[in-house]
Structure 1
Amino acid sequence: MTGVTLSNAIKRYGDVQVIHGVDLKVEDGEFCVFVGPSGCGKSTLLRMIAGLEETTEGVMHIGARDVTRMDPSERGVAMVFQTYALYPHMTVKENMGFGLKMNGFPKAEIDQKVKAASDVLKLEDYLDRKPAALSGGQRQRVAIGRAIVRGPEVFLFDEPLSNLDAELRVEMRVEIARLHKEIGATMIYVTHDQVEAMTLADKIVVLRAGVIEQVGAPLELYRNPDNKFVAGFIGSPAMNFLEGVVGQGGVDVPALGRSVALSVDLPAPGTKVTLGVRPEHLEVHKGRGDLHADLSEALGGVSYLHLVAGTGERLIAEERGDDRAAAGDTVDISFEPHRAMVFAHDSGLRIR
């Protein structure tokens, strides 16, 4: 197996540039996830690696080979799409082995590779079925199996779980994580679901408008985001952001009606900043304060309390235990100062 390296990768459609000088190294055997909002360029970047989109400028290596101008078939990659793209008239076995058959592999070798892939994906009992007789999760496993039998150097996944229901998404997420652990291949995975990114990735690449905002391990991005965009995108529910002004002893936050003392190098007093704190780091105090609870989402072991401040700003607090606030309550919140983050008001960059 081999890694993938992108150097100043640029993609233009005519005069419109959609990928802006991406530099990235995916290590051999690493599970790398591209994540970001719709239209950020993550699927375009994946298709550039696959060779399905031409790289306008820059250089791309898979292992030691410069594949920038190579055809997709020469790159040693296999791609799993959002749609299963299975042949309805073929059995599972025929679908999985079709690519090898077209490339002239001997039948015995095709059968051996299909059997090995079906064992890994728990498809042994379905080899003689056609796609119509399979569930959505089983069809996606067949699509993954079709990629495995090719023995690629790099697996590329383009939002492969988007068409599945919630339960199947969880099941397939576990399957893909197990598959990576078992075969140890280099995998690059595109998703807009940051929960998938957090649970699957060795490395997350956060993209916005064709630019990499930050690269790092999942918990590194969660704990130490470089800017407001990454802080708000990684974590569920998203981080709360409140407007503030640097005071003499900390940040004055009108929504909370008080100043928050912080152990960071704050800019000059009077400077506008944004205070960020995650829902799970807030503690709710019932019966006091002036934050209005307008909705409580009770999910069993946890509730998410939606709060409105007098300034009109909204925030979410996570609650556990039996004594939880309800919609209509007036509450106050507190948090440990080291849990809060401060971002520049204009640029969104983290102030450390």
Structure 2
Amino acid sequence: MSGVTLKGAIKRYGKTQVIHGVDLQIEDGEFCVFVGPSGCGKSTLLRMIAGLEDTSDGQIHIGARDVTNADPAERGVAMVFQTYALYPHMTVEQNVGFGLKMNGVPKAEIDEKVAKASEILQLGPYLDRKPKALSGGQRQRVAIGRAIVRGPDVFLFDEPLSNLDAELRVDMRVEIARLHKELGTTMIYVTHDQVEAMTLADKIVVLRAGNIEQVGSPMELYQNPDNKFVAGFIGSPSMNFLNGVVDQGGVRVPALNDTLIKTDVSLPANGAAITVGLRPQHLAVTEAKSGIVVNLRERLGGVAYDYLTTPTGERITVETKGDDPIAPNTTVDVVFEAEHAMFFDAESEARLR
């Protein structure tokens, strides 16, 4: 097993730079998730670690080895892609062991490794089937099995669940988490789905436009984001952001009845624009008619989400327990837990502390 270290890693395509001097330490045995919107550079960074993309500048180390210029086969990594890339004419057993066969590994050793991987991934009943006779989740487990038999130092996953339906995604998240616990191998996982990131990761790396915005455990990023981007990206539903103005040592929020939030946070001068962040579970709807309009209620069983529009035109999501009936176009008021409010500079989007 090995950790992964990136030192000033840069990627350019011609004159266009897409990864901007990334420094990152992934510890031995850690499950690290790269997360961010489409085009943020997460898959490019993963492919640089795999050796499928050249590193324009900087260094990449796996364990004590500098692999910056090493061929992919020499890096000790195994990659699982979004597409299963299975051979349709081969059985599951043949697909899992094919890479070992091509490398001249003795058949007895191949059989042993395939059997062990099949046991870990619960593929035993399907070894004689061909891919067309498997579900999407089973095919993805075969692709993971093909990676396991190689005994890599690092597993790399590039959005492996994107092609699965919602129920299978949940099942496979559990499978991958169990696999990591059983193998204890360093894993780096790319996704645009922050729910996957929150549920799988020991460490999350939030990327935007080729830069790292913040690195930390899931709950560190959720409870203590460094900026508005991280605060809005981590957490489902997303944090609400409302315009505020510094006033009398606090922040006045026009959208919420011009409420003044008192805070110990270091604020700029009176009159400065501030963005106020409130998570949906820290808000509640009341019956007072303040001009805030209910657009839609989504019922998810024990939890509902109310989507509201304020008199200032800003949108708010409120998490509600139970099933209090609220009809669309109803005018309501919103109250909130002021101690959970976060404040961000309106221009730089940096968190004010």
What TM-score does the superposition give when structure 2 sets the normalisation length? 0.99
Name 1:29's counterpart in structure 2.
29
2:213 is the counterpart of 1:195: no
Q: Show the counterpart of 2:185.
A: 185
Let me know the Cα RMSD of the aligned residues: 0.8
Rounded Cα–Cα distance in structure 1 between residues aligned with 2:219 and 2:89: 45
Shift of 1:30: 0.2
Gaps of 5+ in 1: none
Alpha-carbon distance in structure 2 between the residues aligned to 1:324 and 1:277: 23
- Determine helix, strand or coil for the equivalent of 2:289: strand
Contact 2:32 2:204 in 1 (8 A): yes
Residue 266 (structure 1) shift: 1.2
Q: Work out the percentage of aligned pairs sharing the same amino acid.
A: 73
Provide the secondary structure at the position in 2 that maps to 1:275: strand
Paired with 2:210 and 2:156, the residues of 1 have a C-alpha distance of: 19
Residue 16 (structure 1) aligns with: 16
1:223 maps to 2:223: yes
Which letter maps to 1:301? G
Q: How many angstroms does 1:324 deviate by?
A: 4.4
C-alpha contact (below 8 Å) 1:283/1:335 kept by paired residues? yes
SS in 1 for 2:275: strand
The residue identity in structure 2 corresponding to 1:293 is V
1:289, distance to aligned residue in structure 2 (A): 2.5
Tell me if 1:164 matches 2:164.
Answer: yes
5 Å matches for 1:162-311?
Answer: 162-257=162-257, 258-311=259-312
Q: Which amino acid aligns with 2:297?
A: S
CA separation in 2, counterparts of 1:61 and 1:292? 54
Q: For 1:315-330, what aligned pairs fall within 5 Å after superposition?
A: 315-330=316-331
- Residue 294 of structure 1 aligns with an amino acid whose one-letter code is N
Give per-residue Cα distances to partners, 1:160-205, cap 9 Å, x unaligned: 0000000100000100000001111100000000000000000000
Q: Which amino acid aligns with 2:348?
A: S
One-letter code aligned to 1:40 = C
Q: How much does 1:233 deviate? A: 0.2
Which secondary structure state, in structure 2, belongs to the residue aligned with residue 289 of structure 1? coil
Residue 39 of structure 1: aligned partner: 39
Equivalent residues in 2 for 1:57-72 (5 A)? Answer: 57-72=57-72
Alpha-carbon deviations, 1:92-131, whole Å to 9, x = none?
0000000000000000000000000000000001001000
Contact in 1 for aligned 2:302/2:323 (Cα 8 Å): no
For the 8 Å contact 2:79–2:156, the answer to whether it is kept is yes
- Within 2, Cα distance between the matches of 1:338 and 1:8? 39
Please state how far the C-alpha of 1:280 moved relative to its aligned partner: 1.1
Aligned 8 A contact 2:304 2:322 in 1? no
Q: Matched residue of 1:84: which SS?
A: coil
| 1:227-259 C-alpha deviation (Å, 9 max, x unpaired) | 000000000110000011100141111111221
**Paired positions, count:** 352
Contact 1:4 1:61 in 2 (8 A): yes
C-alpha separation in 2, matches of 1:73 and 1:249: 60
Equivalent residue letter for 1:244: G
4+ long deviations beyond 4 Å: none
Q: Tell me how far apart the structure 1 counterparts of residues 301 and 328 of structure 2 sit (CA, whole Å).
A: 16
Query: Aligned partners of 2:220 and 2:287: how far apart in 1?
Result: 33
Q: Which runs of 5+ in 2 are unaligned?
A: none
Deviates more, 1:203-212 or 1:276-285: 276-285
Which AA in structure 2 matches 1:311? T
What does the per-residue CA deviation read over 1:10-51, in whole Å, with 9 as the maximum and x for residues that have no partner?
A: 000000000000000000000000000000000000000000
Aligned equivalents of 1:198 and 1:325: distance in 2?
A: 31
Say which SS state the counterpart of residue 195 (structure 2) adopts: helix
Which range moves more in the overlay, 247-256 or 75-84? 247-256
Q: Does 1:113 align with 2:113?
A: yes
**Are 1:332 and 2:333 counterparts?**
yes
**CA shift in 2, pair 1:116/1:227, >3 Å:** same
Give the letter aligned to residue 63 of structure 1.
G
**DSSP-derived class of the 2:168 partner:** helix
Which amino acid in the other structure matches residue 100 of structure 1? L
- Structure 1 position 128 matched with structure 2 position 128: yes
Deviations 1:35-80 (A, max 9, x none): 0000000000000000000000001100000000000000000000
1:137-163 per-residue CA deviation (whole Å, 9 max, x = no partner) reads 000000000000000000000000000
Separation of aligned partners in 2, 1:311 and 1:66: 55
Q: Contact between 1:249 and 1:259, CA under 8 Å: does it hold in 2?
A: no
CA shift in 2, pair 1:287/1:270, >3 Å: closer
What is the CA-CA distance between 1:290 and the residue it aligns to? 2.1
1-side partners of 2:314 and 2:213: how far apart?
Answer: 26
1:288, distance to aligned residue in structure 2 (A): 3.2
